[in-house]
Structure 1
Amino acid sequence: MSLDDSPIDVEELPGIRGALLRYRVMAWVVGVLLVVLVVVGMPLKYLGGNDAVVIATGVPHGWLYMVLLITAYDLGRRVRWPWLRLILIAAAGTVPFLSFVAEHYATQDVRARIGTVRETSAAS
């Protein structure tokens, strides 16, 4: 992955938009599953002896977290994020509610980069 500051070309925008959408969907799905797992499933399991919610959400969360990592890497590669940002975004999928925060800031960053590309191409 290139970490240089080379500008994003206008031709790359459709791919970036698609990668952003995929990342946003996965961040929300993984985030909701993790919140349900921690806020509902764990108390039911340890206080009520019922592990049905943990079973129903734990395994899908784990598998979909792997998909989230792939979508975050794809987006980060396209917009040339530094490795630290990618690592923080990846870690956000393991902390309840944090994936929503990471998704918000990632979306702001990508939209700002898209705006910069548009301004640069309009000025040319």
Structure 2
Amino acid sequence: MPNPPQNTEGGSLLQRTIEQLRSANSARPRAVDIPKIPGALTFYRVTAYITGVMLLLLVAEMILKYGVGYSVYAFAPGQPIVSLVHYDPSNTAQAGFDVSTAILIAHGWLYVLYLIADFRLWSLMRMSFTKFVQIALGGVVPFMSFIVEHFITKQVKRFLAENPVPSASEPKVEASH
């Protein structure tokens, strides 16, 4: 049975979460899945960085829209290529490309891709469900995807170092009838 993280009683929620992310005790991949793990890790890392950057853009856009009262538009007639337009929720006929909405939509779809990458790596590594949820939350908490990516990558690379991926040049043993 896997050992629980050591800091389960004390500390903040963030400290306990990071301690759980550091815990590599829950990974139990099957031998047949080990060659697939490096590709799944790369897919996960790329989506983690892209989702993290898009989330930061989304947060900046929300602060600009709801805190300052402006939306970002591109190619609006009579305006520079990219311009700030006073945000008015009742005005749906604004000319130009609404960059603010595009960021929102892009982050949503990229988060779905991030969840697919999370699921693939999680299922190949056969981690605990708690770890899956922690990784998934990394895409909705600002800066968390970068932190989670660091710990998960470290854990998976440690596992791969201890369990090397068989090379393609090694002879494969086939069963005979």
Q: TM-score, normalised by structure 2?
A: 0.59
When the two structures are aligned, how many residues end up with a matched partner?
A: 113
**3-state SS of 1:50 partner:** strand
Report the structure, 1 or 2, having the larger strand content.
2
Question: Percent identity between the aligned chains?
Answer: 38
Contact 2:27/2:128 (<8 A) preserved: no
Q: 1:96 to 1:25 in 2, by over 3 A?
A: same
- Paired letter, 1:85: K
Query: What is residue 7 of structure 2 aligned with on the other side?
Result: none
1:26 to 39, 42, 47: 47
The runs of at least 4 aligned residues of structure 1 exceeding 3 Å deviation read 4-8, 11-14
Query: What is residue 43 of structure 1 aligned with on the other side?
Result: 63
Greater RCO, 1 or 2 (C-alpha within 8 Å, sep 6+): 1
- Paired letter, 2:38: R
| Shift, 1:92, TM fit | 1.2
RMSD (Å), alpha carbons: 1.8
Q: 1:65 to 1:90 in 2, by over 3 A?
A: same
2:38 to 13, 17, 31: 17
Q: Deviations over 1:42-78 (max 9, x none)?
A: 1221213215443121111011111111111100111
- Paired letter, 1:43: I
Q: Aligned partners of 1:6 and 1:96: how far apart in 2?
A: 30
| Shift, 1:115, TM fit | 1.1
Structure 2 gaps, min length 5: 1-25, 73-97, 165-177
| Shift, 1:13, TM fit | 3.5
Q: TM-score, normalised by structure 1?
A: 0.82
